[in-house]
Structure 1
Amino acid sequence: MKTYQLATVSSPSLVVECGGEIVQTAVIKNFKKNPNFPGSVLMLKLLPKEDMYTPPIVLKVIDHRPFGRKPVVGQCTIDCLEDFRCDPYHVNNEVIFIIERFNSPVVVFTQEEETVDWWSKFFASVGQQEKCGPYLKKGYDSLQVYDRELEEVAEFQNLTDFCCTYKLQRGKTDDEEEDPSVVGEFKGSFKIYPLPDDPGVPYPPRQFRELPESAPQECLVRIYVVRCISLQPKDTNGMCDPYLKISLGRKTVDDRDHYKPNTLNPEFGRMIEMSCFLPQDKDLKISVYDYDLLSRDEKVGETIIDLENRLLSRFRPSCGLPETYCISGINQWRDQLKPSHILQNVAKIRGVTAPTVEANGTTMIFDGKQYSLQEFEANTVIHSHLGPPRERLALHVLRKQGLVPEHVETRTLYSTHQPNLPQPTKNVILDETSITGENMSDIYVKGWMPGMEDDKQKTDVHYRSLDGDGNFNWRFVFGFDYLPAEQLCVVSRKEHFWNLDKTEFRTPPKFTVQIWDNDKFSLDDYLGSVELDLLNLIPPSKTPEKCSLRMLPGGKATSGPFTPTANSLFSQRSVRGWWPCAIEQDGERTLGGKVEMTLEIVEEKEMEERPAGKGRDEPNMNPRLDPPNRPDTSFFWFTSPCKTMKFIVWRRFKWVFIIGIILLLVILFLGILFYSLPVNNSYIQ
């Protein structure tokens, strides 16, 4: 929680309102030491039972201050309650949390393992067999490599199966203006179920009967950072010198000494260990910085991981389940609990009978099914590192329960100034050569709707892009009249300048985006464009790597047929992603760049309720757009001679200047030395 009226939030309580009914939690006595509520289960009876008439839930956080003051320091509204409906008699809805601690076993390596290591396992898992050596021939484990955050993997329910996180806002301020800024977070969950109409029928069992301890949990966190991919350049040579900085609570690990020079795809291979208390230190922040010798290091981006969700999720996204149970070697078991113990906990969570083992651990009965070790290991290479049969079989059964496997996840690095926007343009053609001989472009984006060319809008200029990436954080706003029956836009304009009256035209709803290179002393250079039909919108790509000309009509497929599925923006209301911009060169269509946009259709009434200005002008809200986080070298050199010397000339030629100054001092020293030497003068009389 952020401060309110210059005072910290120290004694909050939560008020839950729904359909005129109100319940309130007990007050948290010491918010800094333990932000959990002492009594965390509330029950609220409300009407009606019909889904469509269910009122929203309003959450308000109240801070209890001296002299009886109880200001509302944050609130949020939950409109959709459908996800919270449940069957109260279903046992599997009851989640039991068991958190135990054991000492990790001692790692034992044999001489055989010197030929392979963890990197062999990683390269074998991503398909780079030429780098993994004999790893695959030994029949060892592979791991799951996700191309996204673990929270984004659909089968793991965003890791919010125990509780969801809701953003708290301030609401109305003293001057009756809406404050959309986020001031804190509330974590909780809801269960909605019908009560019997007959008062003689007993109520269903209460939900959330088994909960984790409300006291803080001390945890040990190990962070394995493998590598970074396609970092944003920060140096004038189009490269970066990245290193890691990891923060957890009040602790920070600065790995500046291990920076990787001149690379956008560094391989770190770092393991960092930190201790923390949850939930106080729930946010693990992993940042990448650019190393600079003479200037301040610049942040490339950061990602934040909610550790509390990972601790409490029933999918066990902690260590992950490997393919086999090994007691030694590079695939040695790393979890605190053995597979048999984990399986017993899963049985408690799901309300089924504990597993029974037969035939010396080679046969197991779990949840009414019989599992055989021989069946599981039919295609498994048996090697000396495998553990006892009982644990191997328990692990095989666990891998059938939908838990998180041993994995490596890929996380997007976001800018602090643009937390939800990575890079708006990418892979733009570098059309110019700078004064220091570097390829670059001064990028800006222009947009308009056909038939309304008089209302063309363009962004500000991202100067001196050395890698084809441009950051804008800019809003285009176009007003138009739309006829749903005809699916056409109505445009009124004078057909000729001498006409007295405007003529009404009907045009298809389309949106044109162009990328340009800005030139101060000549005509701007055209780099590419895309025209989007809002009724048959080309589905965007979620990542810039998958964005190509194949998405456009008539695009050439590089591997197999490709037919994009068209959608109407008037039905979707909002869509976000990457679109390719094409340019004709030598009679062929080539990729001129990629642009990331959010397209949103807003009705006039909604626009009045949620106003938004063009660009970053006021009212800068819905959402608020902050200035983009551009490199220090992004400026117009002609109007900034000091910056030109500092960020362009000095960065590129600093060693020339330094060596030149040293040579000048040496020459000056030698000149003074020779000048001051004594001279013997002889005279003949």
Structure 2
Amino acid sequence: LKKEILAPVSSPSLVVECGEERVQSAVIRNIKKSPNFPTNVLLLKAVNSLPKDEMYMPPIVLKVIDHRPFGRKPVVGQCTITSLEEFRCNHDEVAEVAMSSKGEKEAIDWWSKFYASTGEHEKCGPYLEKGYDILKVFNCELEDVGEYKGLTDFCNTFKLYRGKNEHGDDDPTVVGEFKGAFKIYPLSDDPAVPSPPPQFKELPESGPQECLIRIYVVRGIDLQPKDNNGLCDPYIKISLGKTIIDDRDNYIPNTINPVFGRMFEASCFLPQDKDLKISVYDFDLLTHDEKVGETVIDLENRLLSHFGSYCGLPQTYCISGQNQWRDQLKPSQILQNHARLKGVSPPRTEDNGNTLIFKLHQHLGPPSERISLHVLRTQGLVPEHVETRTLYSTFQPTLSQGSLQIWVDVFPKSLGVPGPPFDISPRKPKKYALRVIVWNTTNVILDETSITGEHMSDIYVKGWMPGMEEDKQKTDVHYRSLDGDGNFNWRFVFEFDYLPAEQLCLVSKKEHFWSLDKTEFRIPPRLIIQIWDNDKFSLDDYLGTVELDMLHLITPAKLSEKCSLHMLDNTPKSGQKFDHSKSLFAQKSVKGWWPCYIEKDGRKELGGKVEMTLEIVNEEESEERPAGKGRDEPNMNPKLNPPNRPETSFFWFTNPCKTLKFIVWRRFKWLFIGLILLILVLLFVGILLYSLPVRRSLKKAAVSTVSQITVCYIMAMMIFKLLKKYLFYFLAELHFNENSEAASMR
């Protein structure tokens, strides 16, 4: 209640008028200590004043009067209730409910339970397949769920206004609230007929109740952006009475759909501290934090409502485990109270509650309690739930600023200690390492033509995980592959954070170099392997790729001959049931051949085949069995030796001797041999001509000519023997190469 003529309201009473009848409540002596009336129930007999037709029903006028010194009693607030139809009594018959009990297994992870309830089945893993309990997720405020009547079944909240101002005009200013309820029912004209029983029974104590409040903030949805990048850095701030909880240190950067996973506890006195205010603020380092929006919850209505909205009913009564019972009262006690409020006979069980046991589990409680819980769940009470509350801003009170998925538990301390709270902290990723050993390649496209006309490729293999492109790794180069084969014995090591329950990798990176915080992304665990042709003086040529889903791994071929593009047709389709046996996380290690393809004219063509070993290790296994990248230390698990590459594998620019031997000589050796022979013949002829006699006698010339012919004959025979020997070695080498190729083909 706000001040009246600069004086606070300290001792109010309530006047209820209907037609010509009037009734007044007792005075609240100290509104600061307790705003509840000492006497809760007033009876007003409106004799011959209330017609049956709603159209002619007179209104109920509420007036709050403050009792001040010297007999002054000003009206400090009033309210007119024009429609009374909702307050008419409707005596519903309570139907009997058959008793049954069932056994349910506990949920291993609360987030699996939540995602299974929201329909996000890709994040809940095998939770649904095991038939575990789910909770109810409301897409609106709990007060807006029609079957719960706005949680005002015990009492309504009426706004109090000033009424007339000094000029005689209506003053729309709201000066306070009145919380109460009405029951309208007919009375008999015959005085001999007894009056019906009172309608307000089993009322709670009117004094203040100290309560423990647990606020679970699950996540935000489509929050209003507050930063220039179209995102915000949200955090939670809670106000309850004099308690202020500021969770600014745990802000979540760069998102409008934050996963908070936070639980807050606070103590309060109801009804004084009935309004729970949950606000979302945007974190700013240099400027003032801006409020995104807020929502207000009336805790008193939740505590007093007969729908049990103070703590939702789970599907199963568990005495331990993740779904341990958290209410202060057992199901049988809640059922007893509910029956008393309904005015029906208390429940009873036979055969010690064991008659209808279906299945027991180590975490489940006694059968009688589980049966009581089953009966309670048929009474329309609020189930275990998560509600979605819209956030509003004071500057734009009618426009949504996003929403929060939360739930609130209210526990009066007079009933004892509540059960343990749920742990809804966000899932923390586990560290894993993917080790990829590239052994060999084959059938790689020969993309280059050497200066000697040979088709060849300088092959290397590159790999990375999507979302972690900055950690691309590649092997060394197998130079001058003339048949598409490459040998590497090279290890890639990719470290990543993984959420096993969601089967997603968690990647944190800055979107820009000037970004203050890292942004989190969730992406599927995949591996991309590509084959490239190395070029020193131009861009490398792309030869083929294969993308491997580590959750649905393509089964590799044991032999390269059986490796083909048809293996890629076995990739899972969307909506296909998850096969756990195909996951690399389950297999741990796989070795074989995978095909790499390149697209040409919209079709996939084989670009090569790669032999690899894929291994997944967690953090503990990585420490126990270390392994370095490439062939660096620690070179173990397994140890990788340098590849046994052919002599023709070298880089021509840095190996001139091998270049002459394997490129120039192999390609042009017959040309060189012919040139040598030609030079020798020309040399022989030149010597012969130089040695011919000019001024000698004919006899001496004849002798000299015979001598020269003899010498030339001897030299010719020596050259012939040399050529014969070289030809023999050449034919032997050719025969050996033919046999080697035939053996390799076999």
Q: Normalising by the residue count of structure 2, what TM-score does the alignment of the two structures yield? A: 0.50
Structure 1 stretch displaced more, 258-267 or 43-52 = 43-52
User: Is residue 48 from structure 1 mapped to residue 49 from structure 2 by the alignment?
Assistant: yes
Give the SS at the match of 1:390: helix
Is this contact kept in 2: 1:116–1:132, CA < 8 A? no
Amino acid at match of 1:13: S
Partners of 1:265 and 1:352 lie apart in 2 by: 47
- Change beyond 3 A, Cα 1:164–1:45: same
The match for 1:247 is 239
Superposed CA offset, 1:360-413 (max 9, x none)? 4234xxxxxxxx343xx6xxxx54322222222221121111111100000000
User: Contact 2:13–2:27 (CA<8 Å) still a contact in 1?
Assistant: yes
Cα deviation for residue 17 of structure 1 reads: 1.2
* TM-aligned CA distance change 1:165 to 1:236, over 3 Å: same
**1:440-490 deviation per Cα after TM superposition (whole angstroms, max 9, x unaligned):** xxxxxxxxxxxxxxxxxxxxxxxxxxxxxxxxxxxxxxxxxxxxxxxxxxx
Q: 3-state SS of the aligned residue for 2:221?
A: coil
Per-residue CA shift, 1:504-557, capped at 9, x if unaligned? xxxxxxxxxxxxxxxxxxxxxxxxxxxxxxxxxxxxxxxxxxxxxxxxxxxxxx
Structure 1, unaligned runs of 5 or more? 93-111, 364-371, 425-685
- Matched with 1:35 is 35
Matched letter for residue 3 of structure 1: K
**Structure 1's 242 and 156: CA in aligned 2 closer, same or farther, altered over 3 A?**
same
Work out which of the residue numbers 364, 373, 381 in structure 2 matches 1:395: 373
Query: Which residue type is aligned with residue 161 of structure 1?
Result: D
**2:331–2:373 CA contact under 8 A, matched in 1:** yes
Change in Cα spacing, 1:123 to 1:189, as seen in structure 2 (3 Å) is same
Is 1:26 the counterpart of 2:4? The answer is no
1:134 alignment partner, SS class: helix
**Cα displacement (A) at 1:179:** 1.5
User: Could you give the per-residue CA deviations for residues 146-185 of structure 1, whole angstroms, max 9, x where no partner exists?
Assistant: 0001111111111111111111111111122321121111
Q: Which residue of 1 aligns with 2:279?
A: 287
The equivalent of 2:382 in structure 1 is 404
Match of residue 326, structure 2, among 318, 330, 334: 334
Letter in 2 for 1:146: F
Q: How many residues align?
A: 389
TM-score of the pair, normalised by structure 1: 0.55
Equivalent residue for 2:230?
238
2:53 corresponds to 1:61 = no
Q: Percent identity?
A: 70
Deviates more, 1:4-13 or 1:46-55: 46-55
1:554 corresponds to which residue? Answer: none
Name the CA distance, whole Å, in 1 between partners of 2:93 and 2:17.
28
Specify the code of the residue in structure 1 equivalent to 2:167: D
Q: Could you say which residue in structure 2 is the equivalent of 1:71?
A: 74
1:243 is paired with a residue whose SS is strand
Structure 2 residue 198 is matched with structure 1 residue 206: yes
Supply the AA of the counterpart residue of 1:32.
K
SS at match of 2:389: coil
**Aligned 8 A contact 1:57 1:77 in 2:** yes
CA contact (8 A) 1:51 1:82 kept: no
Deviation for aligned residue 1:423: 6.3
Aligned residue in 1 for 2:213? 221
CA distance in 1, matches of 2:93, 2:271: 27
Distance 2:50 2:326 in 1: 48
The equivalent residue for 1:148 is 140
Aligned to 2:394: 416
Q: Does 1:158 align with 2:150?
A: yes
Aligned residue type for 2:394? T
One-letter amino acid of the counterpart of residue 51, structure 1: K
1:603 is matched with none
Provide the rounded CA distance (Å) in 2 between the counterparts of 1:44 and 1:91.
Answer: 26
- 1:4 equivalenced with 2:4 (yes/no): yes
C-alpha distance in structure 1 between counterparts of 2:365 and 2:129, whole Å: 20
Aligned counterpart in structure 1 of residue 308 of structure 2, from 313, 316, 339:
316
Displacement after TM superposition at 1:60 (Å)? 0.8
Question: Gapped runs of 5+ residues in structure 2?
Answer: 95-104, 403-746
Counterpart position of 1:549 = none
CA distance in 2, matches of 1:360, 1:151: 38
Cα shift at 1:297: 1.0
**8 Å CA contact 1:116, 1:134 repeated in 2:** no
CA deviations over 1:203-259 (Å, ceiling 9, x no partner): 222332431101101111100000010111111221111111101111110100011
1:143: Cα distance to partner?
0.5
Q: Compared with structure 1, are the counterparts of its residues 423 and 385 closer, same or farther at alpha carbon in structure 2 (3 Å cutoff)? A: closer
**Equivalent residues in 2 for 1:223-622 (5 A)?**
223-363=215-355, 372-374=356-358, 383-422=361-400
Aligned to 2:627: none
**What's the secondary structure of 2:349's corresponding residue?**
strand
Question: Does the Cα contact within 8 Å between 1:144 and 1:407 map onto a contact in 2?
Answer: yes
1:90 Cα offset (Å): 7.3
SS at match of 1:201: coil
Q: Establish whether residue 170 from structure 1 lines up as the match of residue 173 from structure 2.
A: no
Contact persistence 1:245–1:289 (CA under 8 A): yes
- Give the conservation status (yes or no) of the 8 Å contact 1:320–1:404: yes
Distance (whole Å) between structure 1 residues aligned to residue 345 and residue 69 of structure 2:
53
1:51 Cα deviation (Å)? 2.6
8 Å Cα contact 2:223-2:401 kept in structure 1: no
SS of residue in 1 equivalent to 2:227: coil
Provide, for residues 569-604 of structure 1, a one-character-per-residue CA deviation record: whole Å limited to 9, x for no partner. Answer: xxxxxxxxxxxxxxxxxxxxxxxxxxxxxxxxxxxx
Partner SS for 2:339: helix
Q: After TM superposition, give the deviation of residue 134 of structure 1 in Å.
A: 3.3
Q: Secondary structure at the match of 2:391?
A: coil
* Rounded Cα–Cα distance in structure 2 between residues aligned with 1:76 and 1:33: 24
Within 2, Cα distance between the matches of 1:263 and 1:361? Answer: 51
Q: How many angstroms does 1:325 deviate by?
A: 1.3
TM-superposed CA distance for 1:187, in Å, is: 0.5
Task: Report the Cα offset of residue 422 of structure 1.
Answer: 2.6
The 1:265–1:213 alpha-carbon spacing in structure 2 relative to 1, beyond 3 Å, is same
8 Å contact 1:91–1:350 — kept in the other structure? Answer: no
Cα distance in 1 for residues equivalent to 2:217 and 2:20: 50
Once the two structures are TM-superposed, the CA of residue 338 in structure 1 deviates from its matched residue by 1.2
Q: 1: CA distance between counterparts of 2:41 and 2:347?
A: 31
Which structure has the larger Rg?
A: 2
Report the secondary structure of 1:29's partner residue.
coil
| 1:323–1:179 distance in 2 versus 1, CA, 3 Å | same
Q: Counting helix residues as a fraction of each chain, which structure ranks higher?
A: 2
Residues 6, 417 of structure 1: CA spacing in aligned structure 2 closer, same or farther, 3 A cutoff? Answer: farther
Moved more, 18-27 or 183-192: 18-27
Which letter maps to 1:71? P
C-alpha distance in 2 between matches for 1:341 and 1:187: 28
1:195 paired residue number:
187
The residue type paired with residue 26 of structure 1 is: A
The answer (yes or no) to whether the contact 1:63–1:71 under 8 Å persists in 2 is: yes
CA deviation map 1:281-332 (0-9, x unaligned): 1111101111111111111111111111111111101221111111111111
The Cα offsets for residues 405-444 of structure 1, whole Å up to 9 and x where unpaired, read as 10000000011234344369xxxxxxxxxxxxxxxxxxxx
**What is the distance in 2 between the residues matched to 1:183 and 1:159?**
23
Looking at structure 1, the residues matched to 369 and 70 of structure 2 have their Cα atoms a distance apart, in angstroms, of 61
Amino acid in the other structure paired with 1:62: I
CA distance in 1, matches of 2:69, 2:209: 31
Distance 1:91 1:71 in 2: 45
Structure 2 distance, partners of 1:192, 1:116, is 50
Do 1:319 and 1:335's aligned partners in 2 also have CA atoms closer than 8 Å?
yes
Moved more, 230-239 or 261-270: 230-239
